[in-house]
Amino acid sequence: MMQNKILITVLGWEERFSASNEIILEKSTISKIILICFQDYVSMSGMKENHKATLDLAKKNNIELKEIKLVYGDSVSNWSIFETFFVSAQEEYLLNITTIPRETIWTLFFFLKKSSNIISYFYFKPLKYSDTWLTRNHKNPRLLFKHSGLIDLDKKLALFIISGFDPARLEQIIAFYEPHKIILFAQVGEQFENIKRNCNSEITNLNGDIEILSIDSYDIKSATQLLEDKYLDLKDEFNIVIDSQGPKVSSLSVYDVYLKSEGSIALAYVPVKDFHPEYSSGINPDYISGSFTINRTYM
């Protein structure tokens, strides 16, 4: 018998945060909302209003709401909190990945796959991103806990990067890992001035073995296949680290390929300190939704 879903969402300051939750409740039967709040960002403009809107939305629809308070800059503590919060009870989850940090999406998959074969998701694009910067003051790249890959000391390192709009973030991870080979997956299309803003042009100034491939991260199936094919081509010669800096939905393809590699791939991310207060504006009502099937043969 189909259970009502539990909605997991991360408090954000963008307009699309509250709007996306409202649409999800219209489209899905939700029995409970889990609201993740990063305490080091709750003072940002728009956070207080969006927090209240979420509480009001739950009350209006007579839905239980549970908050999880995390600190974005303390990944060790966050992992422990998730480990305590999520038990192995059989539940059906729906992730609103619109404003969830990528490393948090992957961490949630790690815990939720212990109790769910299929996890539903929604993603909403904005109407526009900031014309200036999006993130800055990037920290040293990290490997996700329990997702650091299987390292063979006799192999070289290949770095897969799904590129985005932050050249400094791209440069940071390349400089940190100093890979023997770089595979840059550049988003196709002209949305959000993508061709002009996508930082794949930055990498052409670097020396070394660099390959640039086109990817449509919004087409999760084709993006997953492209990443998997490239992994299979290189896995015998290279240790592989993947970082997603492009569209948020690319994190789904990355985790799917990680599972298919049986944990051989390492998942990396570049934490940031500052996010633009006007990171985006508006919401595109043509959302992306689907179900993520967990490969339970590898846990």
Q: pLDDT tens across 94-116, in order? A: 999 998 999 999 999 999 988 88
Which architecture does CATH list for 5-129+280-293? 3-Layer(aba) Sandwich (3.40)
Check whether 193 has a pLDDT greater than 70: no
Mean pLDDT, the chain, integer: 87
| pLDDT single digits (tens) 129-170 | 777 766 777 888 999 999 999 999 999 999 999 987 678 888
Q: Where in the chain is the domain with CATH 3.40.50.11700?
A: 5-129+280-293
Check whether 198 has a pLDDT greater than 60: no
What per-residue confidence (pLDDT) applies to 207?
58
pLDDT band at 206 (very low <50, low <70, confident <90, very high): low
- CATH code linked to domain 135-275: 3.40.50
% of the chain surpassing 70 pLDDT: 88
| pLDDT single digits (tens) 15-56 | 999 999 999 999 999 999 999 999 988 888 888 999 999 999
Check whether 286 has a pLDDT greater than 80: yes
Least Cα distance to 97 among 123, 135, 64 occurs for 123
pLDDT band at 196 (very low <50, low <70, confident <90, very high): very low
What per-residue confidence (pLDDT) applies to 138?
81
